[in-house]
């Protein structure tokens, strides 16, 4: 389990900008049965943790000056819209005996035989799934084998995804996860010669049509 050390934060509001300049990111801790705490952490350390834990792995949070640790999940990460600078992170303290709802990434495995035909394509309906389970049962990802999709029209829905009995999928059971569809190709239909001639006249520069009609007269003269 990942470990993270943080300290209490006295600076709040707009003044936290000065912390970010010092390489420190504001952190907030909350939960259903705990007193919210304003904390802070070294930005480089926090970035490393986010890369390792994501939003599904439990983290042992150590608050400087307090005994023991807290089991938490990353709940929200705020970044600057310009440059993606880390601005703020929220941690949610969990109870190991109570179920909670978490968004888990969906990873597709295998190659559908249907994609060997150029006209077929794979349509994605979901890239993650909402699950409910105990904190220590949260999967880092849910894997889905799609190698059984052999022809256009075949699909996999939420109810088709195998999970353990300890995990409940909360998305609509009939919601489409992936499906094989055919690409729409517009066929070009040949136009009648008369129609093509009329279009050519309409698109010709002004005076071109008259010049074409006068040409035979000049030959006779």
Q: pTM of the prediction?
A: 0.72
Per-residue pLDDT, 218: 46
Whole-angstrom Cα Rg for the chain? 31
Per-residue pLDDT, 53: 84
Show pLDDT as tens, one digit a residue, over the chain (221 residues): 789 999 998 888 888 888 889 999 999 999 987 889 999 999 999 999 998 888 889 999 999 988 888 999 999 999 998 888 899 999 999 999 999 999 999 999 999 999 998 899 999 889 999 999 999 999 999 999 999 999 999 999 999 999 999 999 999 999 999 999 988 766 555 556 555 555 555 555 555 444 444 444 444 44
Query: Maximum CA pair distance of the chain?
Result: 112
Per-residue pLDDT, 220: 46
β-pairing verdict for 100-109 and 86-93:
unpaired
β-pairing verdict for 24-30 and 37-42:
antiparallel
The closest of 3, 20, 111 to 11, measured between CA atoms, is: 20
User: What phi and psi, each to the nearest 5 degrees, are found at residue 190?
Assistant: -65, 135
First and final CA of the chain: distance in angstroms?
99
State the CATH class of domain 2-93.
mainly beta
DSSP helix/strand/coil, 18: helix
State the CATH class of domain 100-182.
mainly beta
Contact between 105 and 127 under an 8 Å Cβ cutoff? The reply is yes
Q: Which residue's entry shows tokens 């802070």?
A: 40
Buried b (16+ CB within 10 A) or exposed e, 8-44: ebeeeeeebeeebeeebbbbbbebeeeeebebbbebe
Residue extents of the structural domains in the chain: 2-93, 100-182
Per-residue pLDDT, 186: 61
């Amino acid at each position: 389990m990942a470990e993270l050390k943080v300290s209490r934060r006295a600076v709040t509001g707009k003044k936290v900008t000065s912390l970010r300049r010092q390489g420190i990111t504001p952190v907030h801790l909350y939960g259903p049965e705990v007193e919210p705490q304003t904390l802070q952490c070294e930005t480089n350390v926090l970035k490393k943790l986010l890369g390792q834990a994501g939003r599904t792995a439990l983290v042992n949070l150590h608050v400087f000056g307090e005994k023991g640790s807290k089991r938490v999940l990353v709940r929200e990460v705020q970044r600057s819209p310009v440059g993606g600078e880390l601005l703020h992170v929220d941690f949610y303290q969990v109870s190991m005996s109570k179920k909670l709802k978490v968004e888990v990434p969906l990873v597709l495995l295998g190659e559908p035989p249907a994609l060997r035909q150029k006209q077929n394509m794979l349509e994605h309906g979901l890239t993650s799934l909402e699950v409910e389970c105990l904190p220590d049962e949260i999967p880092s990802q849910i894997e889905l084998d799609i190698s059984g999709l052999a022809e256009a029209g075949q699909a996999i829905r939420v109810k088709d995804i195998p999970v353990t009995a300890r995990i409940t999928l909360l998305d609509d059971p009939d919601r489409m996860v992936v499906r094989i569809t055919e690409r729409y190709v517009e066929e070009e239909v040949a136009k009648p010669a008369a129609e093509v001639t009329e279009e050519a006249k309409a698109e010709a520069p002004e005076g071109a049509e008259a010049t074409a009609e006068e040409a035979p007269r000049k030959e006779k003269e």
